[in-house]
Amino acid sequence: MVDFIGIRRVQELVGDLGPAAFIAGLAREIEADYRRWGEFEKSPRHATHSSVGVIELMPACDGRQYAFKYVNGHPKNTAKGLLTVMAFGMLADVETGYPLLLSEMTLTTALRTAATSAVAARWMARRDSRVMALIGNGAQAEFQAIAFHAMQGIRELRLFDTDPAATHKVQANLARLELEGLRVVRCSSTAQAVRGADIVTTVTADKRNATILTPEMIVPGMHLNAVGGDCPGKTELHADILLRPDARVVVEFEPQSRIEGEIQQLPADFPVTELAEVVSGRQPGRAGAAQVTIFDSVGFALQDFSALRYLHRLHQQRRGSDADIDLIPDLDDPKDLYSLVGGPPPARRRPLPVAELTA
């Protein structure tokens, strides 16, 4: 039997720990895996693009366990009452090839994305950062807010979205959470939200080269958490922001980010630093208080690997619903797969008449 984690089970696990503690624990798992970056077999995700979206497969392996995620990105889905992003994933044992876990990854992707953002900010943002602008108030927004409040000490959150209903949704959800000391401010434009912010998180969904942030909005000392640009032709930052002489750009996996990240706008030799180099201490995340730091985040398979292992461990420690599924045959004779469909073995069956064989 293979362990199975569905939406209900993730709700239980997050509910048991609380969203902030769950994200913080996942962030520790992700950071630990980035520190052993060299153990992983890595590749850019395999993407199949269409005129309306993208479907991707994201694999990662550390030689002992293998994981993959199936994920889509369809910005027009919300007009049909569907999610922009939906995902599921699997964790398997390398020695046998057998799957250990089949899990939902829609909700989990939002949780791991927020956890990764907070890990990067811990190394890159100024320690005294207390104000964050959150541009794009869709499905990811609350998770980012929770992560930065709990792990980075954000005390003022400045919201803007072109859809006022989305901003209202975030306000209402955060109000129910009653995050201690968090002031939520609704803004009328990106420029207003960004003004005075220490950290700016962009998590928009349009599948195009957009300029959510322009050069005049950026001031020395800011940390930019650019999350929404995650496929070819989809960006959020004006290229001149990346080209600032005081800017430091950190990516998850450079070969993938060159295709899908903000840096797809720049020459192939534009210098960037991978997050693993930062969390391992081999490269600084920030050279000084006045530096502009940019986390060009597109999402990488290692984060899903970490999330699946984290879920699997919590699931086994806290048994509950969605225990397992019979995805893999359990046979008395591993060579007799036919026994699962019943009937006599093929050798004992009546030979087919020639007419039936040639029909």
CATH number at 215 reads 3.40.50.720
178: Cβ contacts below 8 Å, ≥ 6 apart: none
Per-residue pLDDT, 356: 47
93 & 121 share domain: no
99 contacts 92 by C-beta, under 8 angstroms:
yes
Contact predicate 227/201, CB 8 Å: yes
Number of domains in the chain: 2
What tens-digit pLDDT sequence spans the chain (359 residues)? 899 999 989 999 999 999 999 999 999 999 999 999 999 999 999 999 899 888 999 999 999 999 999 999 888 888 898 888 899 999 999 999 999 999 999 999 999 999 999 999 999 999 999 999 999 998 899 999 999 999 999 999 999 999 999 999 999 999 999 899 999 999 999 999 999 999 999 999 766 668 899 999 999 999 999 998 877 888 999 999 999 999 999 999 999 999 999 999 999 999 999 999 999 999 999 999 999 999 999 999 999 999 999 999 999 998 765 567 777 777 788 777 767 787 555 454 455 555 544 44
In a shared domain, residues 168 and 263: yes
Shared domain check, 244 and 167: yes
Q: Among all residues, which ones are annotated catalytic?
A: 230
Residue 357 has what pLDDT? 44
Helix or strand run (H / E) with residue 2: strand 2-5
State the pLDDT at residue 318: 83
CB hemisphere CA count around 137 (13 angstroms):
27
| Helix (H) or strand (E) segment spanning residue 246 | none
Q: Verify that 242 and 318 share a domain, yes or no.
A: no
Q: Residue 32: which CATH number?
A: 3.30.1780.10
Per the structure, the complete domain to which residue 158 belongs is given by 114-300
Residue 245's Cβ-count burial label (10 Å; 0-12, 13-18, 19+) is exposed
- Are residues 16 and 79 located together in one domain of the fold? yes
252 with 321, same domain?
Answer: no
Output the pLDDT for position 350.
Answer: 53
Residues 170 and 181 in one domain: yes
Q: Give pLDDT, residue 349.
A: 47
Claim to verify: residue 9 and residue 59 sit in the same structural domain:
yes
Compute the C-alpha angle 265/298/301, nearest 5°.
135
For residue 143, give the nearest of 183, 182, 109 by alpha carbon: 109
Residues 19 and 140 in one domain: no
